[in-house]
Chains A and B, each alone.
Chain A
Amino acid sequence: MERLGVEESEALNIANQLCQYGYFFPVSDTKNLTVRDDSSLYRFQSPYYWPWQNRPPDNVEYAIYLAKRTLRNKQRHGLEDYELETLGSLRKNLANKWDFITMQAEEQVKLAKVLKKGDKIVSDSQERAYWRIHRPPPGMVSSLEQCPVPNRCRNGSRVRKRTIEDCKREVELLKNSLLRTRVKVSQALESMMQHVETYAEYDPLIVNTQPSNPWVSEDLTYWQLNSPLVEIPTEKRVRRWGLSMEELVSDPTGIQEFTNYLRKEYSHENIRFWMAVNDLRRSSQSQIQRKVSEIFDEFLAPGAPCEINIDGKTMEKVHQEMKSPSRFTFDAAQEHVYTLLLKKDCYPRFIRSEYYKSLLASGIQPSQKKRFFGFGPTKKKASTSSAPNPSLLQQQAPPTTIVGCGALSKRRGSDRSLSGSAHELAISGVRDTRVPHSHSQSNLSDIPYRAEVNDEYGGTDPESSCRIKKPPSVAVVASVSTSEDVCPWEVTPEPHSRKNSSQMDSCSSSSDISAVVTEVSDRFRRTCGITQQSTLDGGQSSRKLSTVSFVEQRRASVSVPIRHSDIRPSVSSFEESSPAVFAAPVSLAVASDTDNKTEEFTSTKTFKKSCSLTKTCSVTGANAPIISVSSVTDDTVADSIEHKEDDEAESSLSLPLAPLAEPDAESASSDTPLETESRPEPEAKSNDVCPWEDEETCKVDAPFVKTYATLGYL
């Protein structure tokens, strides 16, 4: 076991397998071929009988064996019922050989008598075990059973005779392979890893699905929300379209939306042509002719109703091909349309368009359901009013892939750190040490920064008249004190505070929960004892906003004045509904863990969160939240490493817990969280999550955030 580095269960399984294959067998039990984890004895089969000797036993041998047993002591060698039966039938079938068989049997019995008693027992049992495997009692499975398929029988490898054609083909192939251009392994692997990392969040076997995996929870909501054609796709799905053109067109809803968008632009003939050619390629043979001419007439013929715009060379090729129409006739044209028009032009425009942004904003955010805010009786149906915090937090993924620039991994990293990756946290921890961060920040936000906000608010952005920028900087110092009854629900300080921030995000962004925000800020004020103008401000602004909404989710926010240090308040926000299923047991365990470590947890985590809430004065009176920064910074490396352990255990948990925020119902219209076009540098460097800024507000936001971030890091 040690040598193989396996666990007991696996060792047992291997032993069982070997037993089933007849390499050894239980001494006392002739009926079953299983290895148990006790002290029972097993005997090795004589190598002569091992299956890899590959001598399939024939019936004559079996008959001899059975006959032999009939000749011997009844009590010890008596035959089982099924053996008697087979003996009978063998006797019938092998009648002509039967004399020979009995002779052989007698011979063997005689030989056996010469042996010592011990040897006799051993060889008897080995023989018996051998036949037990090769002629199993009825109803028992045999591992050695073979497929009746020629190739699967191992005797004599059945490789086809090679013809000269085969050889020629092989040589040809090898020659071609030599000419093939290859990339470096490192390059190939890097891109594979990137792909895997990007898609990890869409992998239900790695990340928990929202709202739940139907196979686990028996709840079909997930499938309902994600059926192939839906009216309102989930936000996550829309985001996925942003990853690549292929993602978009492999989703029926994606194609539909894309077509709708292009139709509005009067340029949907390209996508329609592309789809028609795809359809042609997959049509049944009988329809090829008809479809080819249909496509030609509709898209390619001079003066066609939906003429597509392709260059002369490609057109020529098409005309050539048209002479002998096949399912591949339009491949060249399709390729042209796909790569040059759709992928390089239409698709990027689509992803940048308002249309896409509004889809993103109105996307369903299913996670809401009961995971987080389960106990709010006042919970509204969240369907329309949702756009998620994951959206906010993970928003980056799409832009990263699109932008594809250097900051890529970093951004993704920051993204992940918020959703609970320990590894990223470690990175963030290394970055800076700013213990007093929280203070500087809050101070900052009440003085210079604020001015700026006002500035911006009044001056630079005239067209959105009632724009409110709310920079509530909330510094959460998460040092969980042993003291508290506090958070058995929260697992580690880290995710916990992270969650906090996100929740705050969620509340302020959705502006539904202003009450909670105020509550939090109140507590903050109390605990910190520092003027928290900003928080106050936050409270106010969210209150303002709250005129349109109710308290949608409730959260009890517990704040604990800290013992060990005077400056560090620990705020733990208690979520009643913390994911019922798995969080509970694990978190308890880890919680105690953290208790022990409390002293070591002198980390300061700061969460900056600037939420610029934009009320546009559009007809819908839309109310779109933009949360631009939410940064997590650890102050010490050691610390973050400290956390790492816990985090790792927890990461899988915290992922599903990952923050959700809901934008307002109406936010759909214009200002939606989308990818960052231009991202302030300091931000990129830091661990910030400022994934998206609205294109139109970008100009305003960027400097804003920049200053903010810079100041924050002073």
Chain B
Amino acid sequence: MSRDVSVKISPVETIESLTKEAEHLKIKLEDERQKLNDVTLAAVADRLEIINYMNVKPRRTLKGHQAKVLCSDWSPDKRHIVSSSQDGKMIIWDAFTTNKEHAVTMPTTWVMACAYAPSGNLVACGGLDNKVTVYPLSLDEDVTLKKKTVGTHTSYTSCCTFPNSDQQILTGSGDSTCALWDVESGQLLQSFHGHAADVMSIDLAPSEIGNTFVSGSCDKMVYLWDMRTGHCVQSFEGHESDVNSVKFHPSGDAIATGSDDATCRLFDLRADREVAVYNKESIIFGINAVDFSVSGRLLFAGYNDYTVNVWDTLKCVRVCLLYGHENRVSCLQVSPDGTALSSGSWDCTLRVWA
């Protein structure tokens, strides 16, 4: 305590002193959290039945990309998918029929982010061009004619999403920030500073009225942000390597993460701590993407070992493995109504599982 005071008194706050104080606070925080850690998830979930039967099979294979698929997103209509790939192509699929409806060539390679707008009439994408670009979709004319660059980062765009509105885009970037942009004017509405390394993934709180989002970064941290103030409101650590993917639990009270340390973790917002780790000795490869089934019972995770592991979030055991991809699974998402799971891979294909 006395040290705390001395820090406050010292007229010049140096990086060293602040770092020290931060360390000190971290220890205190961990103590606080530990105090309330009275039970494990697996113990609580003991009374539940095991899910021992999953009838999830590959139902569609979308072929057409010439290079690694890096990102994909479901349309709100539950059957279209936008996907982007390493060669700068972005394809809009009717996943149900497996037809390609649009193919857009970006002036960059490694399009690492793409997203459908809530209206379904707009897609956004970005990558090594450090930008986020919006394409209105119309069947009549070339979609590239109406493209519009909305925002620019100082490093690559790693992820983007529309926060319940066609009028705004939220992006995460290699410059370790996240940013909220106004689509129409390209104005930066809010920026989010705090991560110490590249932001790899963001996800919005599921609630319609929610004003928060979560981000995962190569600094191994997971931050929860207030979109209105731009402040970080909660932070979680625990991962031992880059956090590649973050996803809100459908209840909005927890966050799942996937990391290069070959674990997925579950952090509870109200308990303010990690409540579960999903790993296995036989899993030695990193995770690129995670998503929940609509009830939150199942957690799908795409791994670098070409597989998708399905975890029972409550019992903390693996339900099954989905084989099929012939290279790393780079992205994965459950469809908006929960009827299917899409996965994209470095093997240039996307697959739909149901």
**Residues of chain B within 8 A of A226, CB atoms compared:** 337
B314 is an interface residue with CB less than 8 A from chain A: yes
Q: Is the Cβ of B196 less than 8 Å from the Cβ of A188?
A: no
Q: Is the Cβ of A175 less than 8 Å from the Cβ of B32?
A: no
B141 is an interface residue with CB less than 8 A from chain A: no
- Min CB–CB distance A147 → chain B (angstroms): 7
Q: Is the Cβ of A167 less than 8 Å from the Cβ of B323?
A: no
- Min CB–CB distance B173 → chain A (angstroms): 11
* A177 in contact with B167 given A141-B346, A149-B174, A246-B207 (CB within 8 Å): no
**Residues of chain B within 8 A of A284, CB atoms compared:** 167-168, 182-185
**Residues of chain B within 8 A of A213, CB atoms compared:** 339-340, 354
Interface size on B, residues (CB 8 A): 114
Write out, one digit per residue, whether chain B residues 168-184 have a CB within 8 A of any chain A CB (1) or not (0).
10000010100000111
- Min CB–CB distance A176 → chain B (angstroms): 8
Residue B228 contacts which of A150, A184, A328 (CB distance < 8 angstroms)? A328
User: Of residues A17, A160, A177, A250, which shows the largest number of chain B Cβ atoms within 10 Å of its Cβ?
Assistant: A177
* A582 in contact with B253 given A189-B275, A195-B296 (CB within 8 Å): no
A419 to B197, CA, bound (A): 49
Residue B49 contacts which of A147, A158, A193, A648 (CB distance < 8 angstroms)? A648
Q: Is the Cβ of B271 less than 8 Å from the Cβ of A171?
A: no
A285 to B180, CA, bound (A): 12
Q: Is the Cβ of B338 less than 8 Å from the Cβ of A205?
A: yes
Write out, one digit per residue, whether chain A residues 263-305 have a CB within 8 A of any chain B CB (1) or not (0).
0000000000000001001111110000000000000000000
* A182 in contact with B32 given A150-B174, A167-B19 (CB within 8 Å): yes
B347 is an interface residue with CB less than 8 A from chain A: yes
**Residues of chain B within 8 A of A17, CB atoms compared:** 284-285, 305-306
Stretch at the interface among A7-15, A480-488, A607-615, A624-632: A7-15
CB-contacts of A21-75 with B (<8 A) = none
Residue B272 contacts which of A149, A177, A202 (CB distance < 8 angstroms)? A177
B10 is an interface residue with CB less than 8 A from chain A: no
Q: Is the Cβ of A649 less than 8 Å from the Cβ of B275?
A: no
- Min CB–CB distance A306 → chain B (angstroms): 20
CB-contacts of A246-269 with B (<8 A) = 246, 249-250
B331 is an interface residue with CB less than 8 A from chain A: no
**Residues of chain A within 8 A of B184, CB atoms compared:** 284-286
A681 is an interface residue with CB less than 8 A from chain B: no
- Min CB–CB distance B262 → chain A (angstroms): 12
* A202 in contact with B295 given A178-B25, A284-B185 (CB within 8 Å): yes
* A199 in contact with B295 given A148-B110, A171-B22 (CB within 8 Å): yes
A405 is an interface residue with CB less than 8 A from chain B: no
Q: Is the Cβ of A192 less than 8 Å from the Cβ of B297?
A: no
A222 is an interface residue with CB less than 8 A from chain B: yes
Q: Is the Cβ of A13 less than 8 Å from the Cβ of B323?
A: yes
Q: Is the Cβ of A648 less than 8 Å from the Cβ of B52?
A: yes
**Residues of chain A within 8 A of B37, CB atoms compared:** 185
B48 is an interface residue with CB less than 8 A from chain A: yes
B113 is an interface residue with CB less than 8 A from chain A: no
* A195 in contact with B251 given A14-B305, A178-B32 (CB within 8 Å): yes
Q: Sort chain A's interface into a size bin.
A: 35 or more
B273 is an interface residue with CB less than 8 A from chain A: yes
- Min CB–CB distance B151 → chain A (angstroms): 13
**Residues of chain A within 8 A of B55, CB atoms compared:** 582, 652
- Min CB–CB distance A289 → chain B (angstroms): 13
A278 to B207, CA, bound (A): 12
Residue A6 contacts which of B32, B59, B271, B282 (CB distance < 8 angstroms)? B282
A205 to B299, CA, bound (A): 11
- Min CB–CB distance A338 → chain B (angstroms): 7
User: Of residues B164, B219, B268, which shows the largest number of chain A Cβ atoms within 10 Å of its Cβ?
Assistant: B268
**Residues of chain B within 8 A of A176, CB atoms compared:** 233
- Min CB–CB distance B220 → chain A (angstroms): 10
- Min CB–CB distance A475 → chain B (angstroms): 28
A222 to B78, CA, bound (A): 11
Q: Is the Cβ of A196 less than 8 Å from the Cβ of B209?
A: no
B143 is an interface residue with CB less than 8 A from chain A: no
User: Of residues A149, A150, A215, which shows the largest number of chain B Cβ atoms within 10 Å of its Cβ?
Assistant: A215
A377 is an interface residue with CB less than 8 A from chain B: no
Q: Is the Cβ of A216 less than 8 Å from the Cβ of B18?
A: no
A11 to B37, CA, bound (A): 36
CB-contacts of B258-276 with A (<8 A) = 268, 270-273, 275
B80 is an interface residue with CB less than 8 A from chain A: no
Q: Is the Cβ of A183 less than 8 Å from the Cβ of B340?
A: no
A667 to B208, CA, bound (A): 34
User: Of residues A147, A184, A285, which shows the largest number of chain B Cβ atoms within 10 Å of its Cβ?
Assistant: A285
A345 is an interface residue with CB less than 8 A from chain B: no
Write out, one digit per residue, whether chain B residues 101-143 have a CB within 8 A of any chain A CB (1) or not (0).
0000000011010000000000000001000000000000000
CB-contacts of B26-73 with A (<8 A) = 26, 28-29, 32-33, 36-41, 44-45, 47-56, 59-60
Q: Is the Cβ of B235 less than 8 Å from the Cβ of A177?
A: yes
Write out, one digit per residue, whether chain B residues 287-309 have a CB within 8 A of any chain A CB (1) or not (0).
00000011111100000011100
Write out, one digit per residue, whether chain A residues 230-241 have a CB within 8 A of any chain B CB (1) or not (0).
000000000000
**Residues of chain B within 8 A of A184, CB atoms compared:** 36, 38, 271
A169 to B191, CA, bound (A): 14
Q: Is the Cβ of A421 less than 8 Å from the Cβ of B32?
A: no
* A13 in contact with B19 given A151-B174, A182-B33 (CB within 8 Å): no
Closest 3 pairs (CB-CB, A-B): A282-B165, A215-B354, A167-B18
Q: List 6 A-B contacts (CB under 8 A).
A: A141-B347, A183-B270, A185-B39, A215-B352, A246-B207, A246-B209
Known: A169-B193, A214-B339, A222-B339. 15 other contacts (CB 8 A): A5-B280, A148-B128, A164-B15, A166-B196, A173-B194, A178-B25, A187-B271, A192-B251, A199-B250, A199-B296, A205-B56, A206-B298, A214-B79, A284-B184, A422-B49
